[in-house]
Structure 1
Amino acid sequence: MKLHELKYTKGSKQTPTRIGRGMASGKGKTSTRGHKGQNSRSGGGTRPGFEGGQTPLFRRLPKIGFTNINKKEYKIFNLEVLDKLKISEINHDTLFEQKVIKNKNVLIKVLGRGEITKKLNLKVNKISETAKKAIEAAGGSVEVI
């Protein structure tokens, strides 16, 4: 079989109904819209969420809360997680290469849960006091950027 010999399966292709093409088509005159009313007119119909005049759901629900557009979100790492990684230099680039973080622009914070057994060099955005003491006790260094 060649490409020019391919044919559609019988019944798979259906021609669309042509609306508003004369009375003989059976879909002429009002073009399936009926006679009068909101949806027969051009531009007719209701907005999304319209409930027939009843107070819509988005107006019945209370408006609460506030979204701070300047909020900073940190990706949190504990010492036990950093100890399992097979790298000694920990910064945004190395964590991204190890696929631990999905975005280089994410902020990193280190917390002090767990034990650290190897020497680590960190370049992070924030670090807790206990984590900093533990890393320096293990012979590593910490730089807050």
Structure 2
Amino acid sequence: MQLNTIKPSEGSKKNRRRVGRGIGSGLGKTGGRGHNGQKSRAGGYHKVGFEGGQMPLQRRLPKRGFKSQQLKYNGEVTLSDLQALGIDEVDLQSLKQAGLVGELIKHVKVIKSGELSRKVTLKGVAATAGAKAAIEAAGGSLAA
């Protein structure tokens, strides 16, 4: 085999379609565009979603729903997670190290799910009303 004898395999390369090059090409005269209309003319086309002047579908449907991008920075921890954690002073950093919340999390809230029987102090961690009552009942506290 020589470099000057290398060819692509048979049928792997197709010639590009040359439109408007005479009747014998099969794509002469109108060049595959049909006869009249906006799509037959150079530069004539409509924007995506255009329905010929009819009110487009995306404008006919009601506006509904929104998902805030701030949600990815919020995390939740349950009372049973705090019970299993085994740390007396709980803050955001200790929760990240324990793997209870992700690295992107900036705000954590304790929710009332499970039981808490030991004293826990929360620093920089919010709690729901039920969780706060359960923490204080177990002898713990919430620091701002």
Q: TM-score range by the shorter chain?
A: 0.5 to 0.7
What's the secondary structure of 1:75's corresponding residue?
strand
TM-score w.r.t. length of structure 1: 0.59
CA contact (8 A) 2:92 2:125 kept: no
RMSD of aligned alpha carbons: 3.9
Normalization by structure 2: what TM-score? 0.60
Mapping for residues 106-121 of structure 1, pairs under 5 Å: 106-121=106-121
Partner of 2:4: none
Aligned residue in 2 for 1:15: 14
Equivalent position SS for 1:82:
helix
CA distance in 2, matches of 1:8, 1:137: 80
- Does the aligned pair in 2 maintain the 1:33–1:39 contact within 8 Å? yes
Alignment of structure 1 residues 26-65 onto 2, 5 Å:
26-63=26-63
Change over 3 Å in CA distance of 1:29–1:105 after alignment to 2: farther
Q: What displacement does 1:42 show? A: 2.6
Query: Structure 1 pair 115/33, CA: closer, same or farther in 2 (3 Å)?
Result: same
State the partner residue of 1:76. Answer: 76
Q: How far is the alpha carbon of 1:38 from its aligned partner? A: 0.7
The 5-angstrom pairing of residues 59-138 of structure 1 reads: 59-63=59-63, 73=71, 74-85=74-85, 88=87, 90-136=90-136, 138=138
Q: How many residues are treated as equivalent by the alignment? A: 135
Deviations 1:85-140 (A, max 9, x none): 4x525433343344433343442111334311345443344223543454355465
Q: Which runs of 4+ in 1 moved over 6 A?
A: none
Counterparts of 1:14 and 1:100, CA distance in 2: 56
- From the superposition, tell whether residues 77 and 17 of structure 1 become closer, same or farther in structure 2 (CA, over 3 Å): same
Task: State the partner residue of 1:4.
Answer: none
Contact 1:50 1:56 in 2 (8 A): yes
Deviation at 1:28, TM superposition (A): 4.5
Cα distance in 1 for residues equivalent to 2:104 and 2:13: 51
User: What residue ranges of structure 2 are gaps of 5+ in the alignment?
Assistant: 1-6
Residues 27 and 77 of structure 1: CA distance in aligned 2, closer, same or farther (over 3 Å): same
